[in-house]
Amino acid sequence: MLLAGTGLGLLVNSLGTRGLDLGRDHFPSRPPAAHQVFTESSPGAAGGSPPPAASTGADRLEPTSAGTEALQPVGGEALAPADDGEARAPATGSETPPASTTPADELDGAVVERLRSKGLQALGLAEAEAWWRDPLTTYEAYLFVDARDDAHYAEGHIPGAWAFDPFRPELHLQELLPLLPSSERIVVYCNGGACEDSENAALTLLAYGADPSHVWVFAGGITAWRAAGLPIERGARGSGELEASTAHDG
């Protein structure tokens, strides 16, 4: 019976459309070594935010539009801890990133610590909204990535967000991959709180060449976004179908 059940399960998994890649680690704990560009002596690393690097940054696979100043390891400007202790990427776009506008108590300390342990940066609701309203989002220099499965994505997502299920990356990778090198900010989210799908998605994007200093995890997720009364788009990306309860403009 064990054999029968095991065999059936493997067969269905291999034939079905919702099968899992059995050999893949769906819960990466850290960014891949090739993208660890910060050394222990960099200011950002002192704050505990970026992971210690095995190299000095010469092994990045994709150049960023910001050049290499974001990747200077020793004594560079790679990451400068903000006043609230969160690391911020240096100004690389058309505007200087705001000094921390996220109230210190908005971000759950446990969530921030969990993200830091994985070498990821946490983003609060205020900044997520500000970046979403920035015109650079329209030009896809700022990307929002929804890390939930397709069903939850269709139920409602941040308008303009790209779907990217980290457990089935092959479904959306071809759409997203070309956008990664030119994106100055990539905001990944899921339900928020204890949901770790956004972290898995962020680490997967890093594995596929995203710049670690450009990837942020929106800690509050769609839950916080919806609770704030911000626009929610239903269906496919760009459908224009907004939830009736949202009062703000998109």
Binding residues for another protein (CB under 8 A): 1-2, 4-6, 8-10, 12-13, 18-27, 29, 149, 167-168
Q: Between 9 and 235, whose beta carbon lies closer to another protein?
A: 9
Of the candidates 83, 90, 122, 91, the residue with the CA atom closest to the CA atom of residue 106: 122
In the complex, the smallest distance separating the C-beta of residue 191 from another protein, rounded to whole angstroms, is: 12
Which neighbouring-strand residues pair with 188?
A: 145, 217
Report, in Å, the least distance between residue 5 CB and another protein.
3
Token pair 């920035």 is at which residue?
A: 134
Minimum CB–partner distance for residue 108 and another protein (Å): 15
User: Six-digit token pair at 183?
Assistant: 């994106």
Residues in the chain: 250
Question: Residue 64 Cβ, how far from another protein at the closest point, in Å?
Answer: 30
CB of 48 to another protein, least distance (A): 21
In terms of CB distance, is 1 or 58 closer to another protein? 1
CB-wise, 15 or 58, nearer to another protein?
15
**What stretch of H or E contains 186?**
strand 185-189
Other Cβ atoms less than 10 A from the Cβ of 210: the count is 28
Closest CB to another protein among 21 and 40? 21
Q: d(Cα 210, Cα 221) in Å, to the nearest integer?
A: 20
- H, E, C per residue of 134-168: CHHHHCCCEEEEECCCHHHHHHCECCCCEECCCCC
In terms of CB distance, is 152 or 234 closer to another protein?
Answer: 152
